[in-house]
Structure 1
Amino acid sequence: MQDVASKPASATAVTGKRARRGLGLKSLMAVAVGLVVSQGVMVVMLQGVGIAGAAFVVPLAIAWVLALCYAASFSELALMVPRAGSLSAYTEVALGHFPAILSVFSGYVVVAMFALSAELMLVNYLLGVLYPAIEGSQYIAFGILAVFTMLNLLGIDVFARLQNVLAFVMVVALTLLGVSALSGGFAPHSVESSELIAGFSLGDGALTLIALAIWGYVGAEFVCPLVGEARDPERNIPRSMYLGLTVILAVFTLYCLGALFYVPRDVLVSAELPHLEYARAAFGGSGTFLLAVAAVTATCSTVNTSLAAVPRMLQGMAEQGQAFPMLGWLTRATRVPWVAVLFVAGVTGLPLLIWGNDPSTVGLLLISAAIAWLIAYVIAHVNVIALRFRYPDARRPYRAPFYPLPQLIGIAGMVYAIVYASPAPELTHKIFLNAGVVLGLVSVVAVVWIKLVMRKPLFRPEPLNEITNP
């Protein structure tokens, strides 16, 4: 049992040597943007602008700053501990094995269970509304999941080519929608710009929407588990996140403000598919096709990125003895953690079997996922602070600027977002119950695994040199 954690270090070294570094800045940006901009986020952003009007750009900008803070922390960690396990590897040397296991399962495996399932439900529901002949069918959701599972098993080169195309099409479609809506190029505005300016007010509860706006930026750190397959990672990992998050800010600002010229705010808040109402109002009949393209590519991009990044986190955990060894098994030709890919696909498909096509569960799943994700961000910020104290002279190819301000601001912002995660009091109990039950189960499993299988203390950090110099 004592060799469980020592053996995988060499495995990681071999993996790193054999990995094909095929991901440049463009591909890494496609990962950052493609995971963040999902169909669920398209809906959430319109709900936010429906509540606050044009003033929603303020919480959107504040959330962007908080996102830059987590990007700074993840960049420092990823390049200081360049391991496939990502957050688990960083946390292992900063806080110990229990927080390491909890951070990955809460922030990524649970998110795959909740958010990816919600995303597939949403695209299923949207296409059923647009094309009634397929309404009620779950084949689309399972078909998308199956196709991208198989494509990810083919290797990182196939993933990169797909991701570049998906992210480009998605960003172009959303930008076209926003720019066309702002210009009134396809249909006359229902609301004048002077009315929007006159209605601009932070007194409508706009600042309370920071928690909602943060959901529009989570996920850019999915580039970090791909550090072993990135070209010039010391330069491209930080740049891909910063540039990707800035592109997202620009796209969502255009997208949200454009909606106010065509769709009443109460409709944006109450509609099950506000992005469909938006596309129809701004483009007429042709808007449904544009929206279908944007929505399907957003969902496919999110699923594709998750099936590339989360399995590599699990691979790193398996190599460190923090998860079942088979999660680290690699295909010979492409070095893909194939068991981990199949596991993440299975976890994603499970809620689809339980809830089917019920659109009422989408919001609940997304917010439950957000809480788990934000906990992982808090842990990442704490990791940077802990490692700065424990290893002040360690090599850091990238240092988070203005330390410790991004970490302190990030922690405060994420805690605020968790506390105010629920958009309605009646949902608060269900949301925190969902997140609490899953995180409680993960915690119990983690304790049992660490004490009985790894036979290690829960909170004793591993030496940094054993992780970075196997």
Structure 2
Amino acid sequence: MTDPSPSDAVPGPELPYAHTLPRLLGPFDAIALVVGSIIGSGIFLKVDAIAREMVSFGPIIAVWAAGGLAAMCGSLALAELSAMLPHAGGPYVYLRQAYGRCCAFLWGWTEFSVIRTGSLGSLACGTVIYFDRFLQALAEQGALPEWLRGMVPLSHFGQAVLTLLAVLLLSTINIVGTRWGAWMQNVTTVIKVAFLGFLICGPFLLGKAESGNFQPVGAADYGFGFWKHFGLAMVAVFWAYDGWINIGPVAEEIRDPQRNVPLGLVVGMLVIIAVYVLTIIGYHSVLPMRTIQATQTVAADAMGVLIGAWGPAIASLGVMVSTFGALNSNLLSGPRVYFAMARDGLFPAKIRQVHATFRTPAYAIAIQSGWSLVQIMLVFLFTQDPGDAFGTLTDFVILGGTVFYGLTVGAVMLLRFQQPDLERPYRTLGYPLTPLIYLVSVVVVVGSMIVETPLQVAAVGGLMAVGVGAYYYFRRGGLTRS
């Protein structure tokens, strides 16, 4: 496969910038970006936490469906903004249009310092953790070459090196060409959906499903603690569904964005909700509730029941591909935010340049990857197990992201009032109910985190306060255009 040249780009709406990105991505790329961005680690690493909070099968399915409904409502609102303003930067552009440049800068600041780079770090760690587990499973079956057996399990240093290499490898792929990065996204998306498809169908095709595993079905007696448990479960579900917003920053590079961006969001979210709910049913059909609540490797345990001794190896490989694909999608979309900020004068001008040969925002990709590598090294320096950082990193990502996702969805309503004459090729289905449903879910999640994780809330709040100071510092420093 060859990387398209600039002449291959399909024209879209003319953009008022000297530095623009070619439109190389089609409708399947848009759908794959949504699906690949969302299916990462949540459907494998958050299942136990949700089962512990909701206790019984009925409420567990309900909370996964509720999270999917909230994400769908948010994506329907995002589709209107993406079709109306199909520029690189996504939420940065929408927040700037609705709330002004300071709010938009704070999104980019938080995206760069915590949300995107934190996601990269956690997903890279997850990829290497499951690569290590894959090697261990092969060793247990005697399928690992003799010269590798002495290296398994991987040392702490070895895990650190491979985590850094995972980010470096995918960063290079995305610098070399958007088409190459999208190709990698498409391949990993197909593999991970096929893997989940086996987890969904396997229990019933192989006759392994047990109806008794679905007990208890009805809601437990939570008393006055229901909303606490529901809120904590929604925090975990929000991580599992996180990524639907990633299509926004790449909209400038999608052909016919007024059609293909809403198509990618709607079709992608329908696929995700169906796959997630059916996967949870698949897990529960072969594993009893107490096992799901106690294990962090639910996919490996389920595959062990389905196909025996080789199940954990296959499951580890599938999860590794899934987290690797999600890592790639974050590398694909995140740098477009910094590219847009630099184009507005809020980041150094070098970041807004499009690489002369590869026609990608290479400098934006490089700066994001560089900061992520620093974070990864710090995590490995101060922890003995990369898995220990996963929960904390995801909490930071969800808290910072959910606040700005809520502001982004709210921008749909605000812009309807402020700028009713803007051309809207797509209008939010079910408006105003759909954005309101998402905003209510944001209140539930953020409120739960304020009560249960006050230190993380204080840290993110402090970071945003520093961001306000940074915005005015950059303005005084002459980085912004008049």
- Please give the range of the TM-score, normalised by the shorter of the 2 chains: 0.7 to 0.9
- Specify every segment of 5 or more residues in structure 2 that has no aligned partner in the other structure, as ranges: 1-13, 137-151
The one-character-per-residue Cα deviations of 1:275-333 (angstroms, maximum 9, x if unpaired) are 33333233322212321222121122112111111111111110011212111122112
TM alignment of 1:29-178, pairs within 5 A: 29-52=31-54, 53-55=56-58, 56-107=60-111, 109-132=113-136, 133-136=152-155, 137=158, 138-178=160-200
Decide which moves more: 192-201 or 219-228.
Answer: 192-201
CA gap 1:317/1:163 in 2 versus in 1, 3 angstroms: same
1:185 matched to 2:206: yes
The one-character-per-residue Cα deviations of 1:397-424 (angstroms, maximum 9, x if unpaired) are 11112322222222221121112248x9
The one-character-per-residue Cα deviations of 1:92-139 (angstroms, maximum 9, x if unpaired) are 121111110112332465212222211222222233334341423223
* Aligned amino acid, residue 273 of structure 1: T
Report the equivalent of 1:295. Answer: 319
1:325 matched to 2:349: yes
Task: Give the drift of 1:450.
Answer: 3.5
Alignment TM-score, normalising by the size of structure 1 = 0.86
Report the equivalent of 1:463. Answer: none
Alignment TM-score, normalising by the size of structure 2 = 0.84
Report the equivalent of 2:11. Answer: none
Distance 2:255 2:464 in 1: 35
- The answer to whether the Cα contact below 8 Å between 2:127 and 2:321 also exists between their aligned partners in 1 is no
CA gap 1:176/1:455 in 2 versus in 1, 3 angstroms: closer
Alignment partner of 1:212 out of 228, 232, 236: 236
The one-character-per-residue Cα deviations of 1:6-48 (angstroms, maximum 9, x if unpaired) are xxxx9953444xx442211111111101111112442113431
CA gap 1:355/1:455 in 2 versus in 1, 3 angstroms: closer
Distance 2:239 2:405 in 1: 12
Distance 1:456 1:203 in 2: 59
Distance 1:261 1:62 in 2: 21
- The answer to whether the Cα contact below 8 Å between 2:19 and 2:353 also exists between their aligned partners in 1 is no
- The answer to whether the Cα contact below 8 Å between 1:385 and 1:404 also exists between their aligned partners in 2 is yes
CA gap 1:294/1:441 in 2 versus in 1, 3 angstroms: farther
Alignment partner of 2:396 out of 357, 363, 368: 368
Task: Give the drift of 1:214.
Answer: 2.3
TM alignment of 1:431-446, pairs within 5 A: 431-446=456-471
Equivalent residues, number:
439
- Specify every segment of 5 or more residues in structure 1 that has no aligned partner in the other structure, as ranges: 1-9, 458-470
Report the equivalent of 1:24. Answer: 26
Alignment partner of 1:304 out of 311, 317, 328: 328
TM alignment of 1:165-314, pairs within 5 A: 165-181=187-203, 183=204, 185=206, 188-189=208-209, 192-194=210-212, 196=214, 199-201=217-219, 203=221, 205=226, 207-208=230-231, 209-314=233-338
- The answer to whether the Cα contact below 8 Å between 1:104 and 1:376 also exists between their aligned partners in 2 is no
Distance 1:371 1:232 in 2: 33
Task: Give the drift of 1:444.
Answer: 2.7
Task: Give the drift of 1:202.
Answer: 5.9
Distance 2:480 2:273 in 1: 46
Report the equivalent of 2:3. Answer: none
- The answer to whether the Cα contact below 8 Å between 2:342 and 2:352 also exists between their aligned partners in 1 is yes
- The answer to whether the Cα contact below 8 Å between 2:167 and 2:369 also exists between their aligned partners in 1 is yes
1:345 matched to 2:345: no
- The answer to whether the Cα contact below 8 Å between 1:15 and 1:335 also exists between their aligned partners in 2 is no
Question: Which SS does the other structure have where 1:432 is aligned?
Answer: helix
Task: Give the drift of 1:87.
Answer: 1.4
Q: Percent identity among equivalent residues? A: 20
The CA RMSD measured in Å over matched residues stands at 2.5
Distance 1:266 1:388 in 2: 49
Report the equivalent of 1:4. Answer: none
- The answer to whether the Cα contact below 8 Å between 2:402 and 2:442 also exists between their aligned partners in 1 is yes
1:315 matched to 2:339: yes
Distance 1:349 1:455 in 2: 28
CA gap 1:403/1:109 in 2 versus in 1, 3 angstroms: farther
Task: Give the drift of 1:211.
Answer: 3.2
- The answer to whether the Cα contact below 8 Å between 1:58 and 1:207 also exists between their aligned partners in 2 is no
* Aligned amino acid, residue 172 of structure 1: A
CA gap 1:285/1:105 in 2 versus in 1, 3 angstroms: farther
